Chains A and B, each alone.
Chain A
Amino acid sequence: MYLRILKKDLKRKKTMNVILLLFVILATMFAASSVNNIITVLNGLDYYFEKADMSDHFVLTLNHNGDEIEEFLNNQPNVKDYRREDQLFFNYSALTQNGKKIVDLGNSVLLLPIDNGKLNYFDKDNNVLKEVPEGYAYFTGSLISKAALDFGDEFQTKLGDTELTFKYAGIAKDAFFGSEMFNNPRLIVNNSDYEKFMADEKVRENNSGIVFYINGYDKNTLESDLSDIPTVNFNKGISVVKTSYIMNIIVAGMLLIVSVCLIIVSFVVLRFTISFTINEEFREIGVMKALGLRNSSVRGLYLVKYLGIAVIGAFTGLLLSIPFGNALMKSVSDNMVLGNDNALLINIVCSIAVVLIILLFCWRCTRKIKKLSPIDAVRSGQTGERFSKRGLLHLGKSKLGATKFLAVNDVFSSPKQFGVMTVIFTVCLLLIMGLANTANTLSSGKLLPLFGAQESDAYITSTDMIAKVMTGEVTYREMCNEIEKKLADNGMPCKVTSEALLFPTLEANGKKASPAFMYNRNTNSSDYMYSEGYAPKYANEIALTTPVAEKLGIGLGDKVKLTLNGKTDDYIVSALSQSLIQFGESGKFNENADIPEESIKQVLGFQIDFDDSPDKAKTKKRIEKMKDIFSTKYVDDTDDFVMHCIGTDIKDTINGVKLMVILITAVIVIMISVLMERSFISKEKPEIALMKAMGFKTRSVIGQHILRFAIVAAVASVISIALCLPVTKLCINPIFSIMGAINGVEYNIKPVEVYIIYPIIVVAATLTGAFFTAIYMKTINASDTSDIE
């Protein structure tokens, strides 16, 4: 009999059972893929670095044979092992196609013969790259998107007097240099091609570079000890390399938030649907009890039914979770190898968990069965003992029309039902808003303080102009004067300043550090942001970022020995700050510090402040004009300058993630609206038929249903707008703190986009889903009142 009742139930309540099945599929798909993604993201870099066989420490030397470093490493007893990777480095302009540069990077490019590779490099399918055909070259990092070559496209590489033509072989993933922030892409080539370059004496002299991958040495000590070797160009531990992936981590963190939201949404919906469907079955439960079935038998019947639906749904969801999860991770896995070795197992465990959770929900919901009596069968689930008012509003007192009143009254009469929907839509909307705020902040000038610069009208970051300062051809002041003069001659009088970058050695408590120091004689230290302490007031005061202070074991008010150009002085740490310069390891001098102009070899860029303080449109025009004057495309406004510092590709990645999240959210909102509305129609069929019998037109009934969704979506929008900033801060500040912004950042909130467009998208998605489902009500006729049970 059990089976017959079940069979009948599945057939008769096909719609509700299918809806429940769909929600189970959704929940399993979201839960399995999201848990997998969370684990993947949290272990992301460790997994990638482990697969790539990364070391604890990295040392780079350019134009030297590396003997000095190798000798040092060989004499260190606590160096467990080290690997030497010989390659070539060169300016990006050496890469051409029919005489034209194929990229404009602003950074050096490396050429690595595959057999010299001491890390595992991966192809686009995450297989370890073991060989490269002769005449072919794989690209890593930003070269992939910026060169935009297709497989087999030819290009030329000229080093010294040797020019070779390569064919583009595809993308490769490089764990060490592949991040957006490092922006030092590599060409991975065949060894015979490399040997052709090495046969050129000029190349051997000017382009050789060596990377040492070192294991088993305390990173701080090694960095400190190696700082005395002049041929070392780069000397950092794995934590710095990890930090260089900060943007990928941020994108992954955004996906993590998406995943958590999806899990919340799926279980809220599931809980609601189960409770909803069981409530709909009061009548049957009452009848069964009237026939003499025991509570346990009735409860068992429903548990068996839901177990069946849960198992089928969970299995389908499990199958769908794999492509869905991959689609979610795609945006961050372009230049990383992400994944976990237990992905399928996690998916299966999650699916089983969903089945168990469904049974738990059912167990809790079916507890009500005990309370139901046969009278419920007669009263369609209403015991008649409830004296609290169902509707809070009174049609007689309302000024609303009948349709509007019914919609509003329904929402107020079923707060739990519509509250759940409001929560879901609010979560979805907050998700989009939070991610949009993050994306907009990352691609705006709001992060400028984290780069230790003051806001200006325009910024010149031309590598050619910066190189003139680096090579000593001109001093940075002379370059500033030259820019000022040229602009004045072109009718744009201005003041040009520059944040100078210096690399002193700091020593305290027997520990050494080489952070990048910012210095600008033309600005006041007090105009910059600090997280603790006060701005350096005197020439012998400095500000340090927290990671540097921690490395040296010092705090506010402590003294530190600072060696610059062979001269050592004592400085007092007056402030702690946050910065993205040198992966968070930087400091700031007071403007009156004794820094000889000729010692300044690196600048962040040249900042231009026009005398007449032009508006945005005028500034934009001037920026375009300046590009012509200085023959460079690297003249930016504040937003572009920050993007230039962070890495321009990341803007596309973030926008891609933003778009993906908007799409996912819209799809979820539509699906939930469709399924909810279908449930409502199924539940309210008698009322729909009655309304039609009374003379309500179909469009009025559809209007009533859509209006309920509109109210819910509007309320969710209002709540989301109110909670937007606090929730963004709560969820996103921890991500920014990884970047060094411990105290958070000032978010760039675009009111039209965040407060108007996104709510409109969610409201539109809700109404679209509800409308197309509500059309089904056309099939319910006034005469159906005679068929209603």
Chain B
Amino acid sequence: MTTAVLEVKDLCKTYIINKRQNNVLRNVSFRIDKGEMVAVMGPSGSGKSTLLYTVSGMDKMTAGSVSFCGRDLADMSENDLAEMRLDDMGFIFQQMYMMKNLSIIDNIILPAVKSKKNKDSRRDIVKHGRELMHKLGISEISENDINEVSGGQLQRACICRSMINDPDMIFADEPTGALNRTASDEVMEELTKLNENGTTLMLVTHDAKVAAKCSRILFIVDGNIKGEYNVNRKLSLHERERGLNNWLLEMGW
């Protein structure tokens, strides 16, 4: 029996803009099991990023429930949510945000240094950080400033940072959105490897080629999950992409 890492039921998110109610998410329900790699797709403004930020506890839900590793986010305080993001979740953003005054390695190890759960010595944390960088092929930029490296390298550094505390799940908001095709392929290759090694991933993307590397796709329109597509990962990438494109056409993409 598979274990649910993330379980979302009737999730609603409403923004009030200029006294007008804007229902961004409407009764969204889904679950992500351990080891899954789920892509959220949909047109611009459909609520993909809001869904990601709400289920990861970064934003507050208006109604419904989100359970992460058995813990109901609605019952958790701001501090508990922060602790959960630090210890049990990893994040990758489209814009490759990093702390400007820190070197790449320091940016990567920062969550581990901050984490109370992580009892490793500072030396071991640095060692772990370097191992991750080595795995992702960016060892040579560890002491660099963040503006001395390419976008692809920076995003891979962000992936290292998201993994430094061995999270239960990684959330990625358009991780390849700001990268060229080569860099994008490299980053997706790393994320796929991560998933193959057991890490659960939820990512938001516009790119069918990226989504085709996932195990499941949630298609969201106007704040509702309109359809779900299971990818047969035994097929070649090309075949997966074609199948996905056909499905997306059916969905009205």
Contacts and interface: CB of A to CB of B under 8 A. Distances in A.
Contact of A391 (B59, B106, B122): B106
A382 B97 CA distance: 14
A785 B173 CA distance: 10
A399 interface: yes
B97 A785 contact: yes
Contact of B106 (A394, A414, A690, A783): A394
A3 interface: no
A596 interface: no
B125 interface: yes
A693 interface: yes
Contacts of A788: 95, 97
Interface size, B (range): 35 or more
Interface string A685-702: 011011111111111100
A396 B58 contact: no
B79 A697 contact: yes
Given A390-B100, A788-B97, A696 B114 contact: yes
A689 B49 CA distance: 15
A384 B105 CA distance: 18
A409 interface: yes
Contact of A396 (B106, B148, B173): B106
Contacts of A396: 105-106, 109, 122-123, 125-126, 129
Interface string B66-103: 00000000000011001111110101010101111111
A143 to B, nearest CB: 64
A379 interface: yes
A695 B100 contact: no
Interface string B147-164: 110000000000001000
A387 B148 contact: yes
Nearest to B105: A396
Interface in A654-697: 686-687, 689-697
Contacts of B113: 395, 401-402, 405
A204 B91 CA distance: 99
Interface in A587-604: none
Contacts of A395: 102, 105-106, 109-110, 113
Contacts of B78: 697-698
A697 B58 contact: no
Contacts of A785: 58, 93, 95, 97
Contacts of A403: 114
A786 B106 contact: no
Contacts of A15: none
A260 interface: no
A75 interface: no
B48 to A, nearest CB: 10
B87 A781 contact: no
A398 interface: yes
A782 interface: yes
A11 interface: no
A704 to B, nearest CB: 11
Given A694-B86, A788-B95, A384 B59 contact: no
A506 interface: no
A686 B97 contact: yes
Q: Indicate the member of A382, A690, A781 with the most B CB atoms within 10 Å.
A: A690
B110 A695 contact: no
A391 B102 contact: yes
A223 interface: no
B44 to A, nearest CB: 13
A390 B145 contact: yes
Interface string A376-397: 0001001010110111001111
A786 B173 contact: yes
Contacts of A391: 101-103, 106
A782 B79 CA distance: 12
B53 interface: yes
A686 B123 CA distance: 29
Nearest to A380: B147
A700 B114 contact: yes
A413 interface: yes
B175 interface: no
Contacts of B148: 384, 387
Contacts of A398: 122
A153 B176 CA distance: 87
B111 interface: yes
Nearest to B91: A693
A389 B102 CA distance: 9
Nearest to B149: A384
Contacts of B93: 690, 693, 785-786
Nearest to B112: A402
A86 interface: no
Contact of A695 (B83, B97, B106, B145): B83
Contact of B102 (A386, A409, A414, A783): A409
Contacts of A390: 100-101, 145
B87 A386 contact: no
Contacts of A637: none
A406 interface: yes
B204 to A, nearest CB: 10
Given A402-B110, A788-B95, 17 more contacts: A379-B147, A384-B147, A384-B148, A386-B147, A387-B145, A396-B109, A396-B122, A410-B101, A413-B100, A687-B100, A690-B98, A692-B58, A694-B110, A697-B79, A699-B79, A782-B57, A782-B59
Interface of B: 49, 53, 57-59, 78-79, 82-87, 89, 91, 93, 95, 97-103, 105-106, 109-111, 113-115, 122-123, 125-126, 129, 145, 147-148, 161, 173
5 contacts: A409-B102, A692-B82, A695-B83, A696-B114, A782-B85
Can you list the 8 inter-chain pairs with the closest CB atoms, starting with the nearest?
A695-B86, A782-B58, A396-B126, A695-B85, A402-B114, A783-B59, A413-B101, A395-B106
